[in-house]
Structure 1
Amino acid sequence: MSLPFHMAFPVNDLETTKNFYSNTLGCKMGRFTEKWVDFDFFGNQISAHLCNLDLTENIKADVDNVAVPIRHFGAILKWEQWEELKTTLEANNTEFIIEPQVRFQGETSEQATMFFKDPSGNCLEFKAFRDSGQIFSS
């Protein structure tokens, strides 16, 4: 069994961050102060730290003819979880950077993916694989 990872990231408002990660993404909030907050991010610990950075600009790279934000994080979900999150995000009128889609349909590496930003401008990707054994395949 692997242990969870920890990642810290910048945000510009803790209240909107708490609301987004708790209510929209369904992450349980952990410890917090007036400067940071921890979340259970699908079994991993992420820490949002208040700072004064412009997080709106993001470098993109071409991946299979799609402009993908390079600085991003996210989670690999079960297919049903991904569908549920997609429905929740659409119900909340989330603006997608890359619309929810299924790539490599019918192939062994078939996967669902979507990109969007949190309220501070951090880019997130959520994906799901039809066959979880393909996550690390080449």
Structure 2
Amino acid sequence: MPLTPFHIAFPVNDLDAARSFYGGLLGCPEGRSSAQWIDFDLFGHQIVAHLKPSAEEKQHHNPVDGHDVPVPHFGVVLSMQVWEALAERLQSAKIRFVIEPYIRFKGEVGEQATMFFLDPAGNALEFKAFADMGQLFAK
């Protein structure tokens, strides 16, 4: 299987500082963003800085396309065919989804298939796919 870009979301307590470090110091081009998160292109991989103001917070979620996305989370960007097969396998296995498989940003720049679920230790995982992989960092 050819290597595909990875995706990781991680908490930060200051989006301006994250923008300065990742965008400025490391030279990562910035993709989509909101008041709660910033996408960066880290050498072809999608990393997302999510605002998490307090370290004491046990669970944190940020709104993305009408869903509460758990932070932190990590995952892989798959081909659409592989993503669809994985979604079917997980649904057949009766996995409890945090966010059911669906198409995010439908009809917009960056349209993508996504799903969230937890591993046995409670770590949030996101698997996503793009019909057009060129949309991964599109604004």
TM range (shorter): 0.5 to 0.7
| C-alpha contact (below 8 Å) 2:115/2:126 kept by paired residues | yes
C-alpha displacement at 1:91, in angstroms?
1.1
Provide the C-alpha distance between the structure 2 equivalents of 1:65 and 1:96, rounded to a whole number of angstroms.
16
| Structure 1 residues 111 and 60, CA gap change in structure 2 (3 angstroms) | same
**Are residues 1:104 and 2:105 paired?**
yes
| Structure 1 residues 99 and 78, CA gap change in structure 2 (3 angstroms) | same
Aligned to 1:122: 123
| Structure 1 residues 2 and 96, CA gap change in structure 2 (3 angstroms) | closer
| C-alpha contact (below 8 Å) 1:60/1:67 kept by paired residues | yes
| Structure 1 residues 74 and 3, CA gap change in structure 2 (3 angstroms) | closer
| Structure 1 residues 68 and 91, CA gap change in structure 2 (3 angstroms) | same
| C-alpha contact (below 8 Å) 1:59/1:70 kept by paired residues | yes
SS, match of residue 114 in structure 1:
strand
Aligned to 1:88: 89
Provide the C-alpha distance between the structure 2 equivalents of 1:96 and 1:3, rounded to a whole number of angstroms.
23
TM-score for both structures, normalised by structure 2: 0.56
The C-alpha deviation readout for 1:53-95, integer Å capped at 9, x for no partner, is: xxxx521112233111011000000000000000110111100
Provide the C-alpha distance between the structure 2 equivalents of 1:3 and 1:103, rounded to a whole number of angstroms.
18
Provide the C-alpha distance between the structure 1 equivalents of 2:129 and 2:5, rounded to a whole number of angstroms.
20
Provide the C-alpha distance between the structure 2 equivalents of 1:92 and 1:77, rounded to a whole number of angstroms.
20
**Are residues 1:68 and 2:37 paired?**
no
SS, match of residue 94 in structure 1:
coil
Give the alignment's Cα RMSD to 1 decimal.
2.5
TM-score for both structures, normalised by structure 1: 0.56
Aligned residues: 87
| C-alpha contact (below 8 Å) 1:109/1:130 kept by paired residues | no
Aligned amino acid, residue 105 of structure 2: F
Aligned amino acid, residue 75 of structure 2: G
Provide the C-alpha distance between the structure 2 equivalents of 1:64 and 1:79, rounded to a whole number of angstroms.
20
